[in-house]
Amino acid sequence: MLAITLILVMFERLFNLGLFDPARGGDPLLYQHLFWIYSHPAVYIMILPVMGAVSEIIPTFARKKIFGYKAIPRREAGRPGERVPSGLRIPRPLTSPEMRAPHPPGRFPPRSPPKPISAGPRPPLQVRPLTPAPPSKTAEQGRSRSAVLAGPEGFDEARFPVSVLAEHFQHRGTIRAVVGEEDLRRSFPTEPISQRLCSRTASGSKLRRKASQYSRAIRAACDEIGADRLGAGSRAPRGGGRGFGGGEGGRCLRDDRLRDFALSPAKIAG
């Protein structure tokens, strides 16, 4: 509307059409009518963002929820299931799926199911060497360090004696060993602790059934978590935490003697 009005003014000046000249049948008020059809909404162009900003600033500093929030957008857009005049509704082709079917208030929309991970080559195991601990005065402070000793494919029996493992699976520790089921079976074929670990790990847990739907890499990770569920303790709350079922995917072994069993960078590289 503004463009039409301004073009008329330009034509009036350039070609002397007489659109706004009463002497030639025009009307000066025509310009004002046309101009204010635009300029009245232009007032809201200026004030609406400011009103929106103020309606965010005041509740923020007042630490109160704004009153009547839903009344404003509902008048703006309408909502399925409500009797809103059709003129106030935004045309359906322009709306997003969220607008056509809004979620219940107070809840986030349901997440889309995770994409299945394609089976592929097993990712390299992340093994990091034991970081040197800062000098500590007490033994308690010295226990705060952690490192991954071995993974499902990197378990070294010579470096992890059965006695140490059997003892320290029952304790938290400075060193976190990630031990998989295959490693346990291979490393301790006759040890009772190994059989107990393997039976507990493999005994029909939800974790294992769920893991069977995913790739081999995920199954390996679940093996680690399954080993972690045997009660030796983990850093994360049991049942909470990340990934499948909780825990950090490894046992926490607490003993300063295990520092010597950490993998060296050369061995990791090799």
Partner 1 sequence: MIFLIVIPGAPAVLGNFMLRSTSALATSPSETHLLSWYCFVGGALLAVTSLFTGGGAPDTGWTFYVPYSVRTTTNVTLAVFAAFILGFSSILTGLNFVTTTHRLRAQGMSWFRMPLFVWGIYATAWIQILAPRCWRSP
Q: Which of 98, 134, 138, 237 binds partner 1 (CB under 8 A)?
A: 98
Residues 23-62 binding partner 1 (CB under 8 A) are 28, 31-32, 35, 37-39, 41-42, 44-46, 48-53, 55-56
CA dist., res. 142 & res. 172, Å (int): 13
119 binds partner 1 (CB under 8 A): no
CA dist., res. 72 & res. 152, Å (int): 58
Show the site string, 164-203: x = touches partner 1 by CB under 8 A, - = not.
Answer: ----------------------------------------
Q: Which of 24, 33, 88, 102 binds partner 1 (CB under 8 A)?
A: 102
Show the site string, 60-79: x = touches partner 1 by CB under 8 A, - = not.
Answer: ------x--xx-xxx-xx-x
**Count of residues in contact with partner 1, rule CB under 8 A:** 53
Least distance to partner 1, CB of residue 1, Å:
5
Return the structure tokens found at 172: 């938290």
Q: Are the C-beta atoms of residues 219 and 209 closer than 8 Å to each other? A: no
Please work out, in degrees rounded to the nearest 5, the angle formed at the alpha carbon of residue 143 by the alpha carbons of 142 and 147: 110
Report the chain's terminal Cα–Cα distance, integer Å.
Answer: 75
268, exposed or middle or buried, with CB in 10 Å at 0-12, 13-18, 19+? middle
CA dist., res. 193 & res. 187, Å (int): 11
CA dist., res. 78 & res. 248, Å (int): 46
Q: Which residues bind partner 1 (CB under 8 A)?
A: 1-4, 6-7, 9-10, 12-14, 20-21, 28, 31-32, 35, 37-39, 41-42, 44-46, 48-53, 55-56, 66, 69-70, 72-74, 76-77, 79, 91, 94-96, 98-99, 102-103, 105, 108-109
